Amino acid sequence: MADRPLESEGKRPAWTELNDLAAQEAGGSILFATDDWFAHAENLLSSAEPVWKEGFTEQGKWMDGWETRRKRIPGHDWCIIKLGLPGVISGVEIRTDFFTGNYTPKASIQATRLNSEMPTFKRDRRAGLAATAEQFKEIEVYESGCWKEIVPRTPLGAGYKDTARTFIEVSSKEVYTHIRLNMFPDGGIARLRVYGVCTPLSTLAPGELVDLAAAELGGVCVGYSNAHYGHPRNMIRLGRGKDMGDGWETARKLDRPSILTAGKDGIFQVPGYEWACFRLGFPGNVLRVEVDTNHFKGNYPDSVIIDGCFVQQNLERDNIENQEWQVLLPGKKLGPHHQHFFDVSEIADVGKINHIRVRMFPDGGISRIRVLGHI
């Protein structure tokens, strides 16, 4: 039987709606960890929910997170993470799910911006390992102990449902490419989320055809009607979705008609829709659109409409529906587990836009949205 979300889970900071810059799906990676004895640090960056699993490994209890051994030498444990999406960090979420008697008591985060020429070192992801003296010497080139502290030493809660999440706002407006997560002194952390907006480090030429909504170009979800099974920000990730969890999926609308009927165009006649709104990384003129229902075979939307608008101010969730939206892509019938491509002949010329609204009828799941246009 499912548990209802705790009241505290409904009070998440607004910045948790932004993209996770460190997620593995975004290209985030662990470059170094002092210790991976019970469970390796790569688990921190998984987008999947932490799970409990009975049983033991050769090192000890199986845990879904990063867990170091009990420190018996001077110092504390830490790891270096290369962000998949460089950008401005608005806040971090540190989770200790299921780490109840072995969670990390306190943690801090440092950050820096490094160029792409920094050396990388081979990592062994097996449990039961710790960094060697040689590896400690190699990683000194990063000088990570001197990076700017963006999260001060902060107490964490035990891994119970009501205390496992710690949200910490970040006030720095600098662009970062790497972070260092510090444990004080040791223990377990299940997940690390680094919420923010990507800032592309390479220069894009005016007139270049790009996906204006892509997270790697600064696209970000600014509001939605429903995200029961999957957040709409997943639709602007890199590549194609890996499964149904890697997309936007809503609950079934309770006001859908008891008996569904279709119009002459084959599109169902339904009274409502679900929507998600995105601020584009760059304003531009849209020439092509892709709607991908990859993996959504029995729960894809019947149809989709995409609207666009250009506004000077940043849209807030409360005023999204009040904008003067123009239909960019008129109603299109969708199919299961399929990439749908629409060219300029099917797209309305609405001029330069910097926001889009995706409307699905009546509900369902979409894996990816691509909005190709000129900057």
User: What pLDDT was estimated at residue 338?
Assistant: 98
Q: What is the mean pLDDT of residues 335-352?
A: 96
Mean pLDDT estimate for the chain: 93
Local confidence band at 11 (pLDDT 50, 70, 90 cut-offs): confident
Give me the residues paired with residue 372 across strands: 211, 288
Contact indicator for 195, 93 with CB cutoff of 8 Å: yes
Local confidence band at 9 (pLDDT 50, 70, 90 cut-offs): low
Q: Is residue 173 part of a domain?
A: yes
55-71 per-position pLDDT tens digit? 888 888 888 999 999 99
In the listed set 163, 198, 233, which residue is the last one of a domain according to the structure? 198
Residue with more model confidence, 190 or 1: 190
- Point out the least confidently predicted range of 39-48, 162-171, 199-208, 233-242: 199-208
Q: Is residue 242 part of a domain?
A: yes
Q: What is the mean pLDDT of residues 38-48?
A: 95
Local confidence band at 7 (pLDDT 50, 70, 90 cut-offs): low
User: What pLDDT was estimated at residue 317?
Assistant: 72
Local confidence band at 175 (pLDDT 50, 70, 90 cut-offs): very high
Residues 182 and 213 in one domain: no
User: Does the structure show a pLDDT above 80 at 254?
Assistant: yes
User: What pLDDT was estimated at residue 204?
Assistant: 81
Residues 173 and 268 in one domain: no
Q: Is 266 helix (H, G, I), strand (E, B) or coil?
A: coil
Residues 153 and 226 in one domain: no
Host domain of residue 157: 7-198
Closest C-alpha among 190, 187, 194 to residue 35: 187
In the listed set 147, 170, 198, which residue is the last one of a domain according to the structure? 198
User: What pLDDT was estimated at residue 225?
Assistant: 96
In the listed set 165, 198, 231, which residue is the last one of a domain according to the structure? 198
209-231 per-position pLDDT tens digit? 999 999 999 999 999 999 999 99
178-208 per-position pLDDT tens digit? 999 999 999 999 999 999 999 988 888 777 8
Q: Compute the radius of gyration of the chain from its Cα atoms.
A: 22
User: What pLDDT was estimated at residue 155?
Assistant: 98
Residues 320 and 285 in one domain: yes
Residues 185 and 39 in one domain: yes
User: Does the structure show a pLDDT above 80 at 125?
Assistant: no
For 246, how many CA atoms within 13 A lie in the half-sphere containing its CB? 18
Q: Is residue 39 part of a domain?
A: yes
Domain count, the chain: 2
Q: What is the mean pLDDT of residues 80-105?
A: 97
Q: What is the mean pLDDT of residues 154-168?
A: 97
User: What pLDDT was estimated at residue 358?
Assistant: 98
Q: What is the mean pLDDT of residues 126-139?
A: 90
255-301 per-position pLDDT tens digit? 999 999 999 899 999 999 999 999 999 999 999 999 999 999 999 99
User: Does the structure show a pLDDT above 80 at 304?
Assistant: yes
Q: Is residue 13 part of a domain?
A: yes
Q: Is residue 203 part of a domain?
A: no
Q: Is residue 243 part of a domain?
A: yes
pTM, full prediction: 0.93
| Residues 6 or more apart in contact with residue 132 via CB below 8 angstroms | none
Residues 83 and 41 in one domain: yes
Residues 169 and 221 in one domain: no
User: Does the structure show a pLDDT above 70 at 19?
Assistant: yes
Closest C-alpha among 23, 375, 372, 55 to residue 196: 23
The share of the chain scoring above pLDDT 70, in percent, equals 98
Contact indicator for 189, 183 with CB cutoff of 8 Å: yes
Residues 247 and 221 in one domain: yes
- Point out the least confidently predicted range of 19-28, 89-98, 313-322, 336-345: 313-322
User: What pLDDT was estimated at residue 10?
Assistant: 58
Local confidence band at 8 (pLDDT 50, 70, 90 cut-offs): low
Q: Is residue 204 part of a domain?
A: no
Residues 102 and 191 in one domain: yes
Closest C-alpha among 203, 106, 211 to residue 152: 106
| Residues 6 or more apart in contact with residue 34 via CB below 8 angstroms | 68, 75, 77, 78, 79, 130, 131, 136
User: What pLDDT was estimated at residue 229?
Assistant: 96
Residues 93 and 194 in one domain: yes
Q: Is residue 82 part of a domain?
A: yes
User: Does the structure show a pLDDT above 70 at 117?
Assistant: yes
Residues 19 and 72 in one domain: yes
Residues 159 and 240 in one domain: no
Q: Give the CATH number of the domain where residue 159 resides.
A: 2.60.120.260
